[in-house]
Chain A
Amino acid sequence: MTDPDVLRKAAAAMREQYDGKQTAAGFTRARIMRSLQTRRRRSFGMWGVLTPAALLFIGSTAWASATGRLPQWVEHVVAAVRPAPVIPAEAPRPVPVVDQRVSPPVRSAPLAPSSVATTEVPQPSSELQVTSPQPTAGPSLAGKPARPAEPARVAKRVAPAAVEAPVLPTLAPPSELPPPVRPPPDPEIAAFRHAHQTHFGTGSPQRAIAEYQRYLASYPTGRFVPEARYNIALNWVKLGRHAEARQALSGFALGHYGPYRRAEARALLEALDVAAEQRTRP
């Protein structure tokens, strides 16, 4: 037989058990104050950089304006801010490019416009617009005599020998490419890796602590500082040095490293409390 009030009872149980009175209240308050303090410091730091930069910019602009150098000043600023334009490979040239398919070239014969790769020829300078002397221009005209001056001039212009062949970039075959340049080994990573291997490989907490502390001394603001400090704390626990372990874990539990190892640190601190309590019991 089901209890019709089971939901109400469950809600009442939740209301009773979770009343908001937790001993972590002061702990959380300290954490909140610390987070706010960090945020204020960051905000001041940002304004401390942006405000002088803005003042410098305004001052420079005013000086440039007063000394009549404003256009150059604007040009310099725009050039500094805007990325360099990329020149496309197929930028138009004043000299027409001959389609290699149209070969062999005929020096003296007129070439009809259709036999030249007009799509590759930049537009018009009118003297490059080949106008064949014959209205029925075509390859069949090759060899046929035509008006001497213009065709010759045109032929000369479009003859491939007279035209610089486009220089196309070519890729060297892979075997000829230079070997990739490897970046030099990162000393910080090497130092931390050594400490890590001591921690996990040797089974000696003292040595692990010494190696991590050596890393911290060499790289006090390094990338692996939180992990190094946490592993030191774990080794203090292994050695039974609970006072040192508490000190090392408190920073993590308070959220000094954000959420990193926060829950684990709190759980460990609670376990240390329980262990201490059991030791003091008769």
Chain B
Amino acid sequence: MRALTWRRPAEPEELVARLQRAEPAAIGEVYDHHHEAVRAFAMRLLGDAAAAEDLVHEVFIRLPKLIGKYRGDGTLRSFLTGIAANHARHHIRGAQRRRAAGERLGVQQQHEPGQVADPEREAQSRQLLAALNRALDGLPDAQRIAFVLCEVEERSAAEAAKIVAVPEATMRTRLFHARKRLRAQLEEEVR
């Protein structure tokens, strides 16, 4: 597999022009710089590694056609996140089915092994994460996206609204309802 090395980012206009021409090298550069952020968002939104990889793949495949809409008013990373948010819907369904099937069979998501300083805390964290994924499955997609952008990724409502191209008031409303439902469900599970 190709090693992922850091390179100095190209000038935005030049990079956008190369992306519009669907130059593989340009798409590779953008991938190298932003794949972690896009994948993190995809994982947080979908809760399933395979679905997240599919969504990441779709984002970068669609990028040449959609880059024409990038006005430079936000970062390229936010633009990529917006593509992921707008194309996540059918991946959400697939991830839900896969997660539900995994839970029925007792199969747990494989996480990257690492050095765990506090196994008990790690186990609690995983349990809470599983509960949150279950609770997110009960939300409408728009509220789910709002929650992940604002609460998990700690973006402001204004930034999140710009990413999914809705008014800020709409984003705040979605976030409010999402928080209310999730809190109630998590408190029920944790009790």
Contacts and interface: CB of A to CB of B under 8 A. Distances in A.
B43 A7 contact: no
A36 B186 contact: no
Contacts of B57: 28, 31-32, 35, 255
B112 A20 contact: no
A13 B125 contact: yes
B149 to A, nearest CB: 11
Interface in B25-46: 27-28, 31-32, 35-41, 43-44
B167 to A, nearest CB: 24
Interface in B106-137: 110-112, 125-126, 128-129, 131-132
Interface residues of B, number: 52
A26 interface: yes
Contact of B44 (A7, A14, A30): A14
Contact of B40 (A18, A26, A35): A18
A23 B56 contact: no
Given A15-B152, A26-B1, A6 B61 contact: no
A23 B27 contact: no
Contacts of B60: 32
Given A11-B132, A13-B128, A21 B24 contact: no
B2 A18 contact: no
A contact face: mostly helix, strand, loop, or mixed = helix
Contacts of A270: 110
A18 B36 contact: no
A31 B39 CA distance: 15
A20 B27 contact: no
Contact of B186 (A10, A17, A39): A10
Contact of A7 (B49, B112, B148, B151): B151
6 contacts: A2-B187, A6-B187, A22-B43, A26-B2, A32-B57, A259-B54
Interface of B: 1-4, 22, 24, 27-28, 31-32, 35-41, 43-44, 49-50, 52-54, 56-57, 60-61, 64, 98, 110-112, 125-126, 128-129, 131-132, 147-148, 151-154, 179, 182-183, 186-187, 190-191
Interface of A: 2-3, 6-11, 13-33, 35-37, 39-40, 255, 259, 263, 266, 270
